[in-house]
Amino acid sequence: MTATHAVTARPSDAGAPKQRSRDRQRLQRRTTFAYWLATQLENDGKIDPDRVTAVAEATGVQPTSVRAWLSGQTLPAIQRLAPLAAAVSADLAEVCELAGRPLVEALRAAFARDPHTSLTGVLRRWQDDAGYDAAAAAAATGVSRFDWSRYVCGSRTPLWTALQRLADGTGFDLVYLTGLAYPGDDAESVGMVHRAIAFDAPAARLLRHVRQPHMTVDQLAAAAGLGRSTVVMFEAGERVPDVDEAAALSRVLPISRPHLLVACGLATQDAFAIHDDLTAAARSQQATRVAGGQLLRRHRLRTGVRWQGMSRQTSGRTAAEVAAQAGLERSFVSKVEAGTKHPSIVQIRQLADAVGVERHLLLAAFDAA
């Protein structure tokens, strides 16, 4: 008699797939971080040893540790992220995202590494390095002299608007200054840091940078057909535009649609590769719409008769009259003539009959034959 033995999975085997998945994620993160760091330390396509040494000194590690980061063997410890970002002039939020560590934790680790670091100390050192007195420092940062003195002595914590002015005036990162001003674990401090992170997000920063030299928020909202509060939320980082909203903004602002889509996280860098093809196709379609619209308008203006009093005039018909005869909206006919709307084949035939032009001519003008 043969005994059968039940094969049961050992407890250690049950979590093996999850462990392998975590290992793959760690490997991918190390590889991505290594590639990014290599781009920061390259010089003429090669890793610059001097830059490796400078990063090692700034982060307080040996050059071999930096090379381990470059080879994808390890990731920097969280207390190294802030000095690393400063050493390569990178955004700390981006470095934390690449390393898979929360930005708030990185800021706290940086503060713990240097217990003397505080908003008061940073502002004092900046004032001394710039050679300013209190009045000049206040003028450079856009705050009052009284407020500046209180910030420097630590008797007052700057609020959100003041933090933005201090960041603009001193050149320090807004997230960094916010973390210095609100280093606690309470809800207000964490909320302020997250607000600074959102305000410094790529889409919000790009929209502010592109809009401010050209128009106000009200003008942008009106031109793009969006609400003012919506645009304000975009620029504050409280909301990210969707595809349609990004398209509306790109039509008004001097920025390409792919660039804005990438900043909003709605497309990858591959969008830039097809931008030229899309632009060429759009220009071709625009030229076709303009040609068809011009032909339609010429025939509308020279066909039909109108009576004014007892005199007969041959000045043509209005867009409203043509629209009524064709069974279309007047605004649609106006857009077709302006080249901003492309009619369907059925609509082209209706318009051709209404203005008295042969169908095949209008179809050819709209490239719809």
CA pair distance 37, 28, nearest whole angstrom: 14
For 173-198, write each residue's pLDDT tens digit: 777 788 788 876 677 777 777 777 77
- CA angle (201 as vertex; 260, 38 as ends), nearest 5: 90
**Are 188 and 241 contained in the same domain?**
no
Residue 63 belongs to domain spanning: 21-112
Residue 37, in any domain of the structure: yes
- Band the pLDDT of 138: cuts 50, 70, 90: very high
Q: Which residue has the higher pLDDT, 103 or 349?
A: 349
**Are 290 and 264 contained in the same domain?**
no
Q: Is the pLDDT reported for residue 271 higher than 60?
A: no
In eight-state DSSP terms, residue 36 is H
Residue 135, in any domain of the structure: yes
Q: What are the distances in angstroms from CA 347 to CA 300, 324, 367?
A: 15, 13, 14
**Domains held by the chain: number:** 4
pLDDT, average across residues 272-283: 48
State the pLDDT at residue 156. Answer: 85
Residue 12, in any domain of the structure: no
CA pair distance 335, 343, nearest whole angstrom: 10
**Are 217 and 263 contained in the same domain?**
yes
Residue 185, in any domain of the structure: yes
For the chain, what is the mean pLDDT?
Answer: 77
**Are 96 and 137 contained in the same domain?**
no
Q: Which of 173, 193, 213 is the last residue of a domain?
A: 193
- CA angle (206 as vertex; 226, 210 as ends), nearest 5: 75
- Among 108-117, 173-182, 338-347, 357-366, where is mean pLDDT lowest? 108-117
Residue 216, in any domain of the structure: yes
Q: Which of 244, 247, 243 is nearest to 266 (CA)?
A: 243
**Are 322 and 247 contained in the same domain?**
no
**Are 130 and 49 contained in the same domain?**
no
CATH number of the domain that 126 lies in? 1.10.260.40
pTM of the model as a whole: 0.40
For 71-111, write each residue's pLDDT tens digit: 888 999 887 888 888 888 888 778 888 888 877 677 666 65
**Are 268 and 281 contained in the same domain?**
no
Residue 8, in any domain of the structure: no
The number of CA neighbours under 13 Å toward the Cβ of 62 is: 3
Cα–chain center distance at 69: 29
Find the length of the chain. Answer: 369
**Are 99 and 68 contained in the same domain?**
yes
- Among 14-18, 50-54, 303-307, where is mean pLDDT lowest? 303-307
Under a CB-based contact definition with an 8 Å cutoff, are residues 113 and 144 in contact? no
State the pLDDT at residue 137. Answer: 92
Q: Which of 67, 91, 112 is the last residue of a domain?
A: 112
Residue 10, in any domain of the structure: no
CA pair distance 259, 257, nearest whole angstrom: 5
- Among 228-232, 246-250, 314-318, where is mean pLDDT lowest? 314-318
**Are 178 and 208 contained in the same domain?**
no
State the pLDDT at residue 284. Answer: 55
Burial (Cβ within 10 Å: 0-12, 13-18, ≥19) of residue 47 = middle
CA dihedral 52, 57, 62, 67 (to 10 degrees): -20
CA pair distance 193, 176, nearest whole angstrom: 9
State the pLDDT at residue 325. Answer: 86
- Among 27-36, 243-252, 355-364, where is mean pLDDT lowest? 355-364
**Are 160 and 104 contained in the same domain?**
no
Q: Which of 251, 273, 295 is the last residue of a domain?
A: 273
**Are 137 and 184 contained in the same domain?**
yes
**Are 279 and 361 contained in the same domain?**
yes
Q: Is the pLDDT reported for residue 313 higher than 60?
A: no
User: Tokens 């802030």 label which residue?
Assistant: 82
Residue 222, in any domain of the structure: yes
